[in-house]
A and B are shown apart, each in its own frame.
Chain A
């Protein structure tokens, strides 16, 4: 059972993030877009943190986050956007939806390790 779900359409990015998190004791599940992310979350109730890109085919990350809160009714899982997007409008939409945090790519594992552990209750 995973405790982190990494959602990104780029397999390279998934590998970079997943390999860092796995090396640091996380159990990682992977999804290729928002639609896939929702499916994974439905199947795996142990996921405590979703780390998601925004710009993805089929379903973008913010729409997925919104559906996690509304369709799935999951208010507990923490959602962190890991994205190239840095504009205020998107951030504000994320805040309204119930996104927990926002990271502008590139991914710097060491900078987020502590907070991720806290969000997953690992510290």
Chain B
């Protein structure tokens, strides 16, 4: 389990020096980076085309239409602050604080060890064991094949991303908790592509009704559930179950502003308005709060609890408590 896999990662490569491009291509191949070579002109457009990037390799002497490479770095940083930008320095000029914020890492031309260290630190900062990655792929393929028995199912090489861009309109999210990890698993897909696949007959005949968006959400939700179950059975040791509560998939469809917690029960909803007393004509900012007790709700137990704590509430917040 301790062997770590060398996952791949896509990076935008913005460098026009032929010799440097050659060296960087060799470097990328050696560390598992997949470089997408672009010009300064199409760099920003490339960001919107590639939503699974892990970083940007940028040359300080990159020819730019307007401004310089550092200005380009700032523009990239504004658009996708989660992507680390690694700058190949070709001058000794100092950076302003704003420029420094955009260029998180820089390395001197020719110092490949410095570059390697930055890549290890900011792109491959989490190492995933080979057995885990292979196991995840295996159990996911199995779940996908069982949900979509008439589809050919395959996978691309696993890779790491720093982007936080959602793919498609339908997403599911489920907590993953073990003795060794705590986090979420998310599945994301495009609604139209999922519908098309089901029309083509990927799934079970007659399952999915008229394939409206709720049916599609359910389909992805159940797929999530199968993967989650298989993951749990394989990777969560019994001792981790002690504190574990029941979970159900949360399904989100952005196109329809839809989120499901799996329960048809009414949710407690409270709307708050934040307004500016000095500008009464301005629209208020509305914040909507909802409580969704989808996994357990026992008003009887609450009544008992509140009776037991009557009078003890109302303690001031922000007060210093001495032990």
Residues of A at the B interface (CB closer than 8 Å) are 9-13, 15-16, 19, 32-33, 54-58, 60, 83-89, 104-108
Contacts and interface: CB of A to CB of B under 8 A. Distances in A.
A33 B296 CA distance: 12
Given A12-B218, A57-B295, A85 B229 contact: yes
A7 B168 CA distance: 31
A113 to B, nearest CB: 15
The 4 closest A-B pairs by CB, nearest first: A84-B229, A106-B146, A57-B263, A86-B233
Interface of B: 142-143, 146-147, 204-209, 215, 218-219, 221-222, 225-226, 228-230, 232-233, 238, 241, 246-248, 261-265, 294-295, 297
A16 B218 contact: no
Given A10-B218, A55-B247, A16 B207 contact: yes
B262 A9 contact: yes
A58 B218 CA distance: 18
A106 B207 contact: no
A12 B219 contact: yes
B281 to A, nearest CB: 44
Give the secondary structure class of A's interface. loop
A10 B263 CA distance: 10
Contact of B207 (A15, A54, A58, A88): A15
29 contacts: A10-B222, A15-B208, A16-B204, A16-B207, A33-B263, A55-B247, A55-B248, A56-B248, A56-B262, A57-B262, A57-B295, A58-B263, A58-B297, A60-B246, A84-B228, A84-B230, A84-B233, A85-B232, A86-B233, A87-B232, A87-B233, A87-B238, A87-B241, A104-B233, A105-B146, A105-B229, A106-B143, A106-B147, A108-B146
Contacts of A15: 204, 206-209
B173 to A, nearest CB: 15
A12 B221 contact: yes
